[in-house]
Structure 1
């Protein structure tokens, strides 16, 4: 499937800048490049009913959170909540990198979204991001009344590395080690740090995420190869996915993570988990953060939100 014209414009823009590929940069350089690209790629953040900065206790100190309430929601109304983990390969990204995505989801859901600023590698390696995600979920569940959140309708979600963390939280909730989320929203998720799939071999250059770029991320986050087999790093390697909550899984065609995302959606289905799998054949990894040039980004966010609204019986 040919690449979407908007996504192709992004690739042309990247080439015009002549930047080295991700795997040739230091983490600091990669983060600076991500910040510089945001105004060029992201649309203006939409207004929401409320944005509030929060923090919760974490294993290495406070974990920053950002609480959004969708436009049109009543002040003080008890809302369902999506706990959102940002993408960026466990190395890049923060509350600001995904502010526009979280605002859009809050509005499309007509609900609350709480974003998590988990620790990044290589300064904090696996399982630091998992530990901070756990702390955030425990906080939202325990403080639901104060936050005007319905504790019976808490979902987890995220894109790429954030989808990885959301899948892990869903497994932990199934096992009773964290409050059990009721839904998992996995957007082009990373699910396996070990496998060498055909899609990994196919996307080797010219894209925002390539096979070499993914290896760069994994080497920073989980340099110990034995840890990569841990299901908290590679949820596709969990012995069973049965009993995890209903899922929305999105994959895209021009993405080295394509095959592992498809494999995760297939396993969920085969093991009795209700799953909606959306495959966007003409898009590339990370396009959800490129809505200024890729209008389909907002359509996908609307589709993900619609699946969650249906689960929450908001429609």
Structure 2
């Protein structure tokens, strides 16, 4: 049930909206600054580094919201009862002072504001920016799923061992452990590539939205599956390189690839691969578009 808001003039309503935005900025501005500082300087917990894709996702969410401001203004001023409930819940979670609950309260507050000011149409309009904020909000999910990454760790260890054997290394694999040239190395849970897997999926969603492709289910499915495959494949090669460097006792190069700029380069190349695949898919779609549709496109140009 949604009820029209008629108790305030348009001017008063705009003032109210600015007050709400100002209150959110006061409450969550320091929190977002803390997130960005932690992601940039890697001073945040390991689990929360898994959400560093928020460095591009949160600004993009703000950009989308700004682009949709006229559509937002044209929506009827209706209030959904769930909106006030979510605002109260968000406030309660915020004032617990517990980091995880405070983080979660941010997206709950935003959803509550949308429902309180514009009802379901407002939530429908802002669903993608809200999704980006939710997927970039640090939480304990990486920590909770770590115990279930064992099959992936074993897969990475076996494939990495196979690759090194083809390169002439003396390798023995047992579970998640590799013995390379007599040097033991473990494919730990945090080496399973979950961080880059999350980032790959997130960047793919950004690309799909940027090109207005989210309504194309086949394209969305293909790109998300491809992003997962690319991420896992890239991580296998990265672990093979790390294990090989450990085996020949090149600690300097190992540290460079593991925690230095080499790891950042690996991440960039992997994301560029996803972008490249996306461009190829677009080119394929354009080339194979039916002639009638091409004629219609030219008429609209």
Q: TM-score, normalised by structure 1?
A: 0.27
Q: In proportion to residue count, which structure has more strand?
A: 1
Say which structure, 1 or 2, has more relative contact order (CA 8 Å, 6+ apart): 1
Bigger CA radius of gyration: 2
